[in-house]
Amino acid sequence: MQNRTYTADAEPGDSVTVAGWVHEIRDLGGIAFLIVRDTTGKIQVKFEKDEMDDDLVETGLSVNRESVVKISGDVKEEPRAPTDVEIVPTEVEVVASAEPELPLDPSGKVDADLSTRLDNRTLDARKEDVEAVFKIRGEVLRSVREQFRELGCSEINTPKIVATGTEGGTELFPITYFGREAFMNQSPQLFKQLMVGSGLERVFEIGPIFRAEEHNTPRHLNEATSIDFESAFIDHTEAMDACESVVKAAYEGVAENCQDELDALDVDFEVPEGDFPRLTYEEAIERINATGELDEMLVWGDDLPTEGEKALGEDVGSHYFITDWPSEIKPFYIKDHDDEELSTGFDMMHPRMELVSGGQREHRFDRLVEGFEQQGLDPEAFDYYTKMFKYGMPPHAGWGLGGERLVMTMLGLDNIREAVLFPRDRQRLSP
Ligand code: AMO
């Protein structure tokens, strides 16, 4: 819209046209106020009934809350107005009227449950705190991209319709692809690895991953955003360094550019300081056992249960890595240490939950094929991937970071669905 002024930019003495939603209507008798909201904030519009044109007053005050209006007028200083200025209108246009009954209250005065909120996401995201989550999410992705550039990465996009899975056969969504069985991709894993063997060497991707997880939890989605990194000629420790720098960059970007949004959310937000501690898997299970929080002691080879991660997170109290996992519980593409019991796989944890998995990759063709066989996978089905390991595949390492979990833990959100505009879970396929 030409010549529109954002509410935040309206200065006393200006003649402006603002456009936005009717946030509130306060009729005090001889005088009435409309509060108009746009993406930059809110502004008060004052109607003095006896001194203004009747049609103007009638149009302005008969409008329903949440209707879209366009208001032209003069900006005056007014210390009693919420933003110290108000508009005295000369023209009011109702651009799109809203019904009087709304499925939820965008002013946030009346709470709605998460399901109602997600069913009406457009209205829900008119709330300041919800809008703030998504502005922060945007800033996280911007900062992450910038840090990847600092690290010398090229951004890539890999296919989401694929012939094989990578992260365990049960979590794939099958689809029909011109009469053939295909799947929605669970991870860009194999494709990002193939690209470190290209001239690009060091790559990143931010894109959707699809997981047919049966469980319905506050930290699992069936469609999530994965932030993936992969680089030639580095080992797992250098991959961990890169991971730490990207997560810190996300926090720093939000601290620098999103103070208003953090205020709107009223969260305890701290940029992580110092190096993330690196515990081995063995130390991790010892520390979990020592907390006494689990009914059964963990033994070597167990995956960490959710309560174990929680107990350890409380014990460590900051982001941390778990390294040197048993080879048998890490996927085929992760390289073992010389002691083959131990892998180079690592996880990066927030005290509340896992955020990242990664590791050095097996780049030796023969060992890679053996790894497939050991995990009961048919190497033939992965021929498109394995064959490139015969033509000069450098040593490499990388990781995948859950975008929603990063936002969720950063902002202390209770449910991962709050960090996605239109979440996909067992029940939810629309909107
Ligand atoms: P992994 O399967 O551990 O590793 O996934 C990496 C990270 O992605 C996030 N994540 C999810 N977030 C929400 N809902 C889900 N269903 C979900 N699944 C995963 C988590 C997790 O830590 N290919 C490897 C990565 C690598 O080695 O580069 C992989 O996908 O935050």
Distance 100 CA to ligand 1 centre (A): 44
What digits encode the pLDDT tens for the residues 1-37? Answer: 778 999 999 999 999 999 999 999 999 999 999 999 9
What digits encode the pLDDT tens for the residues 255-272? Answer: 999 999 999 999 989 999
DSSP class of residue 277 equals: P
* Residue 38 structure tokens: 């746009």
Distance 185 CA to ligand 1 centre (A): 12
What digits encode the pLDDT tens for the residues 123-154? Answer: 999 999 999 999 999 999 999 999 999 999 99
The residues near 292 (Cβ < 8 Å, ≥ 6 apart) are none
Q: Which ligand 1 atom sits nearest the alpha carbon of residue 166?
A: 23
State yes or no: is 418 an active-site residue: no
% the chain with pLDDT above 70: 99
Distance 401 CA to ligand 1 centre (A): 6
Alpha carbons 361 and 276: distance in angstroms, whole number: 22
If you average pLDDT over residues 197-212, what whole number do you get?
97
What digits encode the pLDDT tens for the residues 81-100? Answer: 999 999 999 999 999 999 99
Exposed, middle or buried: residue 311 (CB in 10 Å: 0-12, 13-18, 19+)? Answer: buried
- Residue 167 scores a pLDDT above 90: no
Residue 373 pLDDT level (bands cut at 50, 70, 90): confident
Alpha carbons 84 and 161: distance in angstroms, whole number: 54
Minimal-distance CA residue to ligand 1 atom 11: 402
Q: Would you say 43 and 27 are in contact if contact means Cβ atoms under 8 Å apart? A: no
Q: Which ligand 1 atom sits nearest the alpha carbon of residue 189?
A: 23
If you average pLDDT over residues 190-204, what whole number do you get?
97
Q: Which ligand 1 atom sits nearest the alpha carbon of residue 188?
A: 23
Q: Which amino acid is at 207?
A: G
Q: Which residues line ligand 1 (CB under 6 A)?
A: 167, 187, 189, 211, 213, 220-221, 224, 226, 228, 354-359, 398-400, 402, 404-405
Per this entry, what is the length of the chain? Answer: 431
If you average pLDDT over residues 376-386, what whole number do you get?
89
Angle, helices 306-316/281-291, rounded to nearest 10 degrees = 90
Please name every residue paired with 27 in a beta bridge, in sequence order, or none if there are none.
Answer: 32
**pTM (2 d.p.):** 0.96
Residue 385 pLDDT level (bands cut at 50, 70, 90): very high
State yes or no: is 426 an active-site residue: no
Distance 356 CA to ligand 1 centre (A): 6
Catalytic residue among 23, 37, 117, 219: 219
The pLDDT of residue 378 is 86
Catalytic residue among 117, 211, 236, 350: 211
Assign 5 to helix, strand or coil.
Answer: coil
Assign 301 to helix, strand or coil.
Answer: coil
Q: What's the mean per-residue pLDDT of the chain? A: 95
The pLDDT of residue 117 is 97
Distance 209 CA to ligand 1 centre (A): 8
Q: Where are the beta strands (DSSP E) in 49-147?
A: 68-77, 85-96
- Residue 202 scores a pLDDT above 60: yes
Q: Would you say 227 and 246 are in contact if contact means Cβ atoms under 8 Å apart? A: yes
Half-sphere exposure of 185 (CA within 13 A, CB side): 18
State yes or no: is 354 an active-site residue: yes
Alpha carbons 297 and 290: distance in angstroms, whole number: 9
Assign 401 to helix, strand or coil.
Answer: strand
Distance 340 CA to ligand 1 centre (A): 24
Assign 282 to helix, strand or coil.
Answer: helix
- Residue 398 scores a pLDDT above 70: yes
If you average pLDDT over residues 281-305, what whole number do you get?
96
Distance 378 CA to ligand 1 centre (A): 23
Report the first-to-last Cα separation within the chain, whole angstroms: 28
State yes or no: is 357 an active-site residue: yes
- Higher pLDDT, residue 107 or 157: 157
If you average pLDDT over residues 333-346, what whole number do you get?
95
Q: Where are the alpha helices (DSSP H) in 172-328?
A: 189-196, 236-257, 259-265, 281-291, 306-316
If you average pLDDT over residues 31-50, what whole number do you get?
96
Residue 170 pLDDT level (bands cut at 50, 70, 90): low
The residues near 84 (Cβ < 8 Å, ≥ 6 apart) are 77, 78
Distance 73 CA to ligand 1 centre (A): 52
DSSP class of residue 362 equals: -
Per-residue burial over 365-378, b if 16 or more Cβ lie within 10 Å, else e, is eeebbebbeeeebe
Minimal-distance CA residue to ligand 1 atom 1: 357
Catalytic residue among 357, 361, 396, 417: 357
If you average pLDDT over residues 280-287, what whole number do you get?
98
Q: Would you say 329 and 285 are in contact if contact means Cβ atoms under 8 Å apart? A: no
What does each C-alpha distance from 376 to 177, 333, 373, 381, 393 come to in angstroms? 25, 13, 5, 12, 24
Q: Would you say 408 and 231 are in contact if contact means Cβ atoms under 8 Å apart? A: no
State yes or no: is 220 an active-site residue: yes
Alpha carbons 264 and 58: distance in angstroms, whole number: 34
The pLDDT of residue 376 is 84
Alpha carbons 213 and 253: distance in angstroms, whole number: 32
Q: Which ligand 1 atom sits nearest the alpha carbon of residue 220?
A: 14
Alpha carbons 90 and 17: distance in angstroms, whole number: 10
Residue ranges and CATH numbers for the domains of the chain are: 7-96 (2.40.50.140), 122-277+318-419 (3.30.930.10)
Minimal-distance CA residue to ligand 1 atom 10: 402
Catalytic residue among 23, 319, 405, 417: 405
Assign 194 to helix, strand or coil.
Answer: helix
170-176-178-183 Cα dihedral, nearest 10 degrees? -30
Alpha carbons 118 and 112: distance in angstroms, whole number: 10
If you average pLDDT over residues 46-74, what whole number do you get?
96
Place of tokens 């929603």: 404
- Residue 169 scores a pLDDT above 60: no
Q: What are phi and psi of 24, to 5 degrees?
A: -155, 150
Catalytic residue among 78, 171, 282, 354: 354
The pLDDT of residue 168 is 64
Residue from 144, 170, 203, 209 whose mutation best tests the ligand 1 pocket (most atoms within 8 A of CB): 209
